[in-house]
Amino acid sequence: MDGVNVNGSALVTAASALQSAGGSFAECGQVALDADYGSGVVEAAVAAIRAALARASGTADAGAHSNSSWAATTWAEFSSLDQAAAAAIST
Amino acid sequence: MVGGSVALQGEMGSVAAAGRNLSSLDSLNQAMGHLRAGIGQVQASGEAKALTQLVAACRPIESLAQQIATARIGAGSVLVSYASEVSAIQDEVRRLKARKIAAESRRQTVMASLAQVNQGDPDGVTQARRLSGRIGDANFELQQIDGALAACDQARRAADTRCANSLNSFTASLAAVSVGAGGRGQGVSLASLLTVAKGTTRQETIDAVIAEITTGSLSPDEVAKKWASLQLVEQDVDDLLPRTKFRLAGVDGLPGWVLDMVSQDALVYAIDNPGKAYKWMGFSGSDLSQDDFLKQLTELKAALKKAKEDSTALPGSPKVQMLGLGNHDGAITTAISFGDIDKASNIGVNVPGIGSKVDGIGNALGGAKELFRAANNQNPDATYAMVTWYGYRTPGTPQEGDFSVWSMDHAEAGATNLASFLDGVHASRALGPNPMPEHVVVLAHSYGSTTATEALKLTTYQVDAFVTYGSAGVKNGTTLDELHTDKMFSTLSSGDAVAPKGYGGLANDRVNPIGLEGVTEFSARTGEKKVNAHDMFTEGDSWSIWNLSEDIGYLSAGTSSLDKMGEIFAGKVG
């Protein structure tokens, strides 16, 4: 049937790559910005952008993890469909 | 607070290091690498429509990562610049403080010397005055240094504010983009994805290609290739939004059937929604009033309807195609073909001249019908597409107070459009399912010949023949070698008193194309009827501003000019 062929190992590799992407996004949200700024306004602005970066990276991290998980789930669903089809044919 | 103490706060080496950390994208690049690898694996993992949704869900993460990268590089750069600026201020403060110490020391020394001077001695009085002057100088210098230190503090505060504002702008941009990004596929049922996802992705591809080909920056060849890659069918084109159809109706390089569909749909839509269409097509009150716009479109629609009716009486009942609807220099443009331009073995393109507007296209279509019939009489084995091309703003008539017919401006502006149209037909046919046309002919009347001559200097592809009739003159110095045509033919009736007014004398330096070396002249007055007017076409009893008696135009039935042009169109002239 057109449009439902799935290579399981590629999907599993995809899930793993997306998992790694998530980890790296989390890491890049933790950039070291400690310094002696000597200025209250600059220090506050640095703290704000640090928080925004962490939040944005966290969003990317969550998205990558979520899609990693979904890739794995999708593969499981296709496997299940495949098995169901096989069972139907054999009965 | 002591002057310079604000400026000296902080350690800028550590601030610059923080800025460099921020600009470093090592971990972000690593994340992007993994993400792209993941997307690549998903794309490679199969054909399931669900997977396209997963890829689509990953795209916003890529976009978000790009935003993060932009913010990090920008903010890091701000911090590094800030550290550099503040370092310079701090260096200046340190230099000023050193000068201040030296100045204070000198003043102390001079004051000590002054205390030892015997002011009862006349020499002592003089020495005391000199020393007092030096103390005054030292005080002035100290005053200057204190002022400079205060300025350094002020500069530092300004730098702090600028830096904080810049950082805050990056923070705001991050806050804006992070909302809703990082979308995911979870929560969508597999069944719905199987039916929806692939279609969404295809639509996105269609949208992207159409956006590219309607920018006006692609050549007809590029347009044809990009369009062909979409492999759209009629239903796909029919489903396009009205605005998209308007955009496509002016694109050269598209297949005739596409131009026909979008142009006709756009025409109907414009008549139903004149305000919107007037704006979409880029008209303004100074070009053409909205009332005239609607009036001309209504006339055009009627002419198209009549052409469809008339085509049933032509040999083979050819299809009628509308090959464009647009705006050139404030004039409505279009092209109408008797015959299928995607399939015809012989294609003719007839270019009108002075005073031609789309509301008068009906008359030119009458001439096109005669050309179709004349060619078919000469060679019934060929298939024909006779295009009446109204693709440029023609000059108005002197009777209307418009004397631009004597200038080359409209010809040069229109030449670009005509060259693009001709190359577009070639490009589309080269990629279409049918063989290339065997014979392509450009025919041009009056000022249309001025325009077409310039166009054939611009085309990429050669045409087989170029015919001028009742020419208003071509640019002086033009040679046949410059024109991308194999042959050139020309006629001027002695009964046409108007055409020769278009060239020579004091008006301009255009020349009669009949005089160009290599041009084959043919007669307009050896047939059953003799051309006695400047008109492109006349049918039965007619009248024009040029001739008060019955007129016979160049494409009128029974004229030798029509017969000859039919022969040329049919490819029967060697």
Nearest Cα of chain A lies from the Cα of B186 at a distance, in angstroms, of 6
Partner B contacted by A27 (CB < 8 A): yes
The residue of chain A with its CA nearest to that of B16 is: A35
Residue B191 within any structural domain of the chain: no
DSSP string across B162-214: HHHHHHHHHHHHHHHHHTT-S--STTS-HHHHHHHHHHHHHHHHHHHHHHHHT
Write out chain A residues lying below 8 Å of B15, CB-based: 35-37, 42
The pLDDT assigned to B267 comes to: 97
Task: Identify which has the larger pLDDT, B452 or B117.
Answer: B452
Residues linked to residue B327 through DSSP beta bridges, in sequence order: B332
* CATH number reported for the structural domain that contains residue B499 in this entry: 3.40.50
The pLDDT value given to residue A24: 65
The confidence score (pLDDT) of residue B248 equals 96
End of a domain among B178, B208, B240?
A: B178
Q: Tokens representing A3? A: 């449009």
Kindly state the tokens that stand for B319: 């299809």
The CA distance from B49 to B6, in Å, is 63
For B471-492, write each residue's pLDDT tens digit: 999 999 999 999 999 999 999 9
Residues B131 and B233 in one domain: no
**pLDDT tens digits along B125-184:** 899 999 999 999 999 999 999 999 999 999 999 999 999 998 988 888 877 664 443 333
Q: Which residue has the tokens 């279009």?
A: B334
d(CA A34, CA A47): 9
- Contact by Cβ (8 Å): B56, B201: yes
pLDDT at B460 over 90: yes
For A61, the closest chain B residue by CA position comes to B182
Q: Give tens-digit pLDDT for B333-373.
A: 999 999 999 999 999 999 999 999 999 999 999 999 999 99
Give me the count of residues in chain B: 574
For B465, the enclosing helix (H) or strand (E) is strand B463-469
pLDDT at A89 over 70: no
Domain count of the fold of chain B: 2
Average pLDDT over residues B51-80: 76
B427 touches chain A (CB under 8 A): no
Across the interface, do B15 and A77 touch by the CB < 8 Å criterion? no
Whole-angstrom distance, CA of residue B348 vs CA of residue B386: 5
Residues B534-553: tens digit of each pLDDT: 999 998 654 444 444 578 99
Q: pLDDT tens-digit profile of B175-221?
A: 766 444 333 333 333 333 333 333 345 666 787 788 889 888 889 99
> What are the residue ranges of helices labelled H in B391-522?
409-431, 447-456
Other CB atoms closer than 10 Å to residue B286's CB: what's the count? 7
A54 close contact with B: CB closer than 8 A: no
DSSP state string for A21-53: HHHHHHHHTS---------HHHHHHHHHHHHHH
| Alpha-carbon gap, residue B472 to B491, rounded angstroms | 11
Please tell me whether residues B143 and B236 are part of one structural domain: no
Q: Which chain B residues are closer than 8 Å to A38 by Cβ?
A: 8-11, 86
**CB < 8 Å from A in window 23-52 of B:** 24-25, 27-28, 30-35, 37-42, 44-51
Residue A25, pLDDT above cutoff 80:
no
Same domain (yes/no): B171, B249: no
B556 within a domain of the structure (yes/no): no
Measure in Å the smallest separation between the Cα of A48 and chain B Cα atoms: 7
Chosen domain end from B132, B161, B178: B178
The answer to whether residue A4 scores a pLDDT higher than 80 is no
Higher pLDDT, B53 or B376: B376
What is the spatial order of strands in the sheet that B320-328 belongs to? B320-328, B331-338, B384-390, B346-351, B439-445, B463-469, B485-491, B520-521
In a domain, B481, yes or no: yes
Average pLDDT over residues A9-26: 68
Tell me: do B262 and B142 sit in the same domain. Answer: no
Quote the minimal CA–CA distance from B95 to chain A in Å: 20
What are the distances in angstroms from CA B83 to CA B3, B121, B256, B311, B446?
A: 20, 59, 63, 79, 72
Give the model's pLDDT for residue B197: 32
Q: Say which CATH number the domain at B168 has.
A: 1.20.1270
pLDDT mean over B85-96: 94
State percent of chain B over pLDDT 70.
88
The answer to the question of residue B536 being in a domain is: no
Q: Is residue B199 part of a domain?
A: no
User: Do residues B248 and B363 share a domain?
Assistant: yes
pLDDT category, B331, cuts 50, 70, 90? Answer: very high
Same structural domain for residues B471 and B398? yes
Cα-Cα-Cα-Cα dihedral sign, residues B48, B54, B60, B63: negative
User: Domain for residue B549, yes or no?
Assistant: no
Search chain B and give the residue with CA nearest A27: B27
B165: which residues sit within 8 A by CB, 6+ positions away? A45
Any chain B CB within 8 A of the CB of A47?
Answer: no
Q: In this predicted model, which residue has the larger pLDDT, B419 or A20?
A: B419
C-alpha pair distances (Å), B349 with each of B105, B390, B502: 96, 10, 22
What's the pLDDT at B199? 36
CB pair distance less than 8 Å for B45 and A10: yes
Q: Model ipTM?
A: 0.70
Q: Is the pLDDT of residue B27 over 50?
A: yes
Separate counts of helices (H) and strands (E) for chain B: 15, 8
Is B118 within a domain?
yes
* Residue B330 belongs to some domain of the structure: yes
Alpha-carbon gap, residue B282 to B279, rounded angstroms: 5
Using DSSP bridges, classify how beta strands B439-445 and B485-491 pair: parallel, antiparallel or unpaired.
Answer: unpaired
| Structural domain boundaries, residue B57 | 12-178
| Whether residue B117 sits in one domain with residue B222 | no
Q: Which of B35, B45, B57 shows the shortest C-beta gap to A11?
A: B45
The answer on B381 and B261 residing in a single domain is yes
Is residue B524 scored above 70 in pLDDT? yes
CB distance B420 to B391 below 8 Å: no
If you average pLDDT over residues A52-62, what whole number do you get?
74
Q: Could you tell me which of B489, B433, B484 has the C-alpha nearest to residue B459? A: B484
Q: Residue A66: list chain B partners with CB under 8 A.
A: 182, 184-186
Asked if residue B354 and residue B476 are part of one domain, the reply reads yes
Same domain, B174 and B220: no
pLDDT score at A2:
38
> What pLDDT, on a 0 to 100 scale, did the predictor assign at position B455?
97
- Say what the pLDDT of residue B160 is: 95
Quick one: closest CA in A to B72, which residue? A53
Instruction: Tell whether B341 and B483 lie within a shared domain.
Output: yes
Strand-strand pairing, B439-445 and B384-390: unpaired
Query: What rounded mean pLDDT belongs to chain B?
Result: 87
Alpha helices in B343-398 (DSSP H): 361-378
Q: Does A55 touch chain B (CB under 8 A)?
A: yes
A15 CB neighbours in chain B (<8 A) are: 38
Q: What pLDDT sits at residue B422? A: 98
Nearest to B64 among A48, A52, A59 (CB): A59
pLDDT of residue B184: 39
The encoded tokens of residue A22 equal 């998530």
Task: Give the minimum alpha-carbon distance from B447 to chain A in angstroms, rounded to a whole number.
Answer: 57
B472: its two tokens? 């208003």
pLDDT of residue B509: 81
